[in-house]
Structure 1
């Protein structure tokens, strides 16, 4: 790749598609595009994350997937692909939860195979994308941090989850005992085995942090705090067999009552699983006011029932709670201050009360999950696009505002340039767009759209 790619003499449809991000979303999209004859350049800042990203990279053997292996194929049209790669029989898949590290190896192998078999179609640039600007012929110039200008016929933002947003109670605090992002490299290294730890959040991120600490021999007490004190529910011991159901016709509160009634009939897991094919359509069928009400009141309950733990993880968590090593409480975090002895003084209010509770801890780890508001992201490309008005946050601040083909809407609401977002960045349109079964279908459909509208190099 040269420092500047000339625009003249090369047809726009011979230009590559630039995919920003080499994790699960970007890898899968690149493979789909290459299979359809398009040339692709994956721009990834971290060579260690290429092919699997953060979610499936820095994980220990204690970190299990939250979805059964039978539903973790990277390809929607080949549901048994991951199982064949594992070398297990499909009949054995109902109760199998592979490790996330294993899944990361699977994704890396897919990219390596695709690059080996289609070397002229998939290239990789280890760099940071900083800007995108319109170029002649309807193409786009992607500016990289090493000075390279990559001319592309379309760009797809696939950076994955945004970093967690810092809790306001931690403003002004710094030090290795305050961990704003537990997935940052080495974030938990300074937490001693005997430390009294506060986890801010009780969802799947908290479960991951607990598993990491336990794998390191942690013996100190752990308190997990969230507004409702809800932890993810467990998958059933054996896999479900769900008969396809039509999309519910009820909306709003009537829909919630219908789901509860269905759960009474068939069990809550079955009732939630029946909604999987319809979740995105149901989200889009509600207006902004209804979506906001869902986020305020129902989202925590949806999250813990929809995004579950593997049974083995749930057993470990319950054992820790039974022994008193883990305490889960519902309440609001008010302030965290550093005490004279260097420890952290936590001021919080138990849910349903007005009084203040003071708890001394040695470390605080923010486990509230990925951020959603792109305007608060530190990603240089997102900040540039927002600053130039080429992108805007979605109305619910769950990601970027996109149209039905995941094309970015600019500050004026127009989807004028071939810049697309996928995965977590498109959550505002789709709501459910963070799990493998959702993203793999999006990657296939987006590749089909790009090849249909942007053309493809003949195979």
Structure 2
């Protein structure tokens, strides 16, 4: 029994107790393993789950910091999880796994109803990967490198290495935003998560931010942590900011059948009624476990209406932030250091010492251009499979196709890529945020955890 489980009930998928593990395939090695492209949370925890099932995998990560990805690699302690610790277990069927780990390794953050630092969660993911690796020797191979191409039976790295693969899983996480042109000017920060991206911003500098969601929140917190005292103007289509979690975990409202069937307008009207009666947080708790199934059951027309009209409101209510972080943002607004603006980007005009943003307001007459010392693109992940170096060739060859709304690759309910004729490919899967077109809810740990189980079962 490993250290992390001493004094606790056995892990539900302990390799010593799991009969599947005893059926380890003798031929599985890097030469015929499942190749996982992307070593962040999704990829690393899939590799761990496959190992527990006796399936060998090769886990490839560009930077070699396996288990963290962009989300959990932050060094800033003020970047907190957006989900309470009690829901952040990386192990399906063992909801207390993360909290128990905190009790042993980081007791200062062991409150199950609290929001631990994201870097601490990254430590936890890496510890789980290492623990499974030690318990299942030889079944997880870590490879630091960049994938250049995906063939029908192999993955080719940029350095020329070729890995034979019985299946490939794309777990590449969230790409950088694409609204601001990369390399256009040193005054434009196109990738806010690039190492040292904010270091050039001075303590008194003003900033323009495209996007008012979670990435904007993270950048403002990081700037504040570095002693920044300037002003920020944030622009998005509707000027909406993520809502805050309540002081205590929310209790789901009673489920009414009309929320899941009938015309979308009627379901939305009922949702507003329930929110007014029970509270909107309780409504979101009711809908949270049902949304992926509801999305998959919806036809393209309904999905299109959801994306066009409902998604911005859904996102800010569904993906909430800790109350302490919401309080910090409200203080910035009260001090006239943060202005939220609704409108569309028309053009970005960088200069030698400043950058201007031409825009049109959502309502009302035209406004003058916004000008500041810096512009940060926080417009959200720039998912575009056709322009991606790995998925673009798959689309061009017909091995993959886009979904009807062009949100991402078209997948079946197991996460298998559908080819141009709609046939599922047993050798090619997508996991995590890039699977959003098929499952909608694929960015939060509780949702990815369930998808990991489905993909692992399909690869057994």
Report the equivalent of 1:68. Answer: 84
Structure 1 match to 2:304: 292
> Which residue, 300, 323, 340 being the options, matches 2:335?
323
Q: CA deviation at 1:249?
A: 2.6
Query: CA RMSD of the aligned region, Å?
Result: 2.2
Per the TM alignment, residue 251 of structure 1 is displaced from its structure 2 partner at its CA by 3.8
Identify the residue that residue 193 of structure 1 maps to in structure 2. 203
For residues 87-144 of structure 1, give each alpha carbon's deviation from its aligned partner in whole angstroms, at most 9, with x where no partner exists.
089xx7453000101101111111111222222111111122222223xxxxx11112
Is the Cα–Cα contact under 8 Å of residues 350 and 357 in structure 1 kept in the other structure? no
In structure 2, what is the equivalent of residue 120 of structure 1? 138
Contact 1:402 1:408 in 2 (8 A): yes
Matching residue of 2:57: 40
Report the alpha carbon displacement of residue 188 of structure 1 after superposing the two structures with TM: 1.5
SS in 1 for 2:201: coil
Aligned length: 430
Q: Distance in 1 between matches of 2:244 and 2:424?
A: 41
For residue 447 of structure 1, report the CA deviation from its aligned partner: 0.5
Confirm whether residue 256 of structure 1 aligns to residue 289 of structure 2. Answer: no
1:54 matched residue in structure 2: 70
2:359 equivalent in structure 1: 348
Whole-angstrom CA distance in 2 between matches of 1:416 and 1:438? 23
Q: Using a 3 Å threshold, how does the CA distance of structure 1 residues 11 and 196 change in structure 2: closer, same or farther?
A: closer
| 404 and 78 in structure 1: CA distance in 2 versus 1, 3 angstrom threshold | same
Aligned CA distance change for structure 1 residues 13 and 109 (closer, same or farther; 3 Å) = closer
Select 1:366's aligned residue among 377, 390, 411: 377
Separation (CA, whole Å) in 2 of partners of 1:417 and 1:292: 28
Gaps of 5+ in 2: 1-25
User: 2:450 aligned to 423, 441, 454, which one?
Assistant: 441
Q: Any conservation in 1 of the 2:31–2:164 contact (CA below 8 Å)?
A: no
In 2, the alpha carbon distance for the partners of 1:226 and 1:252 equals: 25
1:230-249 equivalences under 5 Å are: 230-242=240-252, 245=255, 248-249=260-261
> Compared with structure 1, are the counterparts of its residues 117 and 244 closer, same or farther at alpha carbon in structure 2 (3 Å cutoff)?
farther
Equivalence for 1:28? 45
Instruction: Indicate the residue corresponding to 1:3 in structure 2.
Output: none
Deviation at 1:243, TM superposition (A): 6.4
Separation of aligned partners in 2, 1:224 and 1:362: 14
Q: Deviations over 1:227-249 (max 9, x none)?
A: 11110000001112336747633
Measure, in 1, the Cα distance between the counterparts of 2:199 and 2:375.
13
Please give the alpha-carbon distance, in whole angstroms, between the structure 1 residues aligned to 2:442 and 2:376: 25
Structure 2 distance, partners of 1:11, 1:190, is 48
Cα 1:185–1:244, aligned 2, differ >3 Å: closer, same or farther?
farther
Tell me the distance in 1 between the aligned counterparts of 2:353 and 2:56.
55
Give, in angstroms, the shift of residue 449 of structure 1: 1.7
> CA shift at 1:374, angstroms?
1.4
SS at 1:123 equivalent: strand
- Hey, what does 2:102 align to over in structure 1? 86
**Other-structure match for 2:113:** 95
Is the Cα contact below 8 Å between 2:346 and 2:358 reproduced in 1? Answer: yes
Give 1:351 shift.
2.2
- What runs of 5+ residues in structure 1 fail to find an aligned partner? 1-8, 135-139, 452-459
Give TM-score, length-normalised by structure 1.
Answer: 0.89
Deviations 1:309-332 (A, max 9, x none): 100100100011001111111122
In the aligned structure 1, how far is the partner of 2:280 from the partner of 2:253? Answer: 15
2:126 pairs with 1:108: yes
SS at the partner of 2:149? Answer: strand
- Is the alpha carbon distance of 1:246 and 1:355 closer, same or farther for their aligned partners in structure 2, counting shifts above 3 Å? closer
Q: Per-residue deviation at 1:364?
A: 0.5
Contact 1:12 1:153 in 2 (8 A): no
Q: Bigger CA drift: 394-403 or 296-305?
A: 394-403
Give the alignment's TM-score, normalised by structure 2. Answer: 0.89
CA drift at 1:276: 0.9
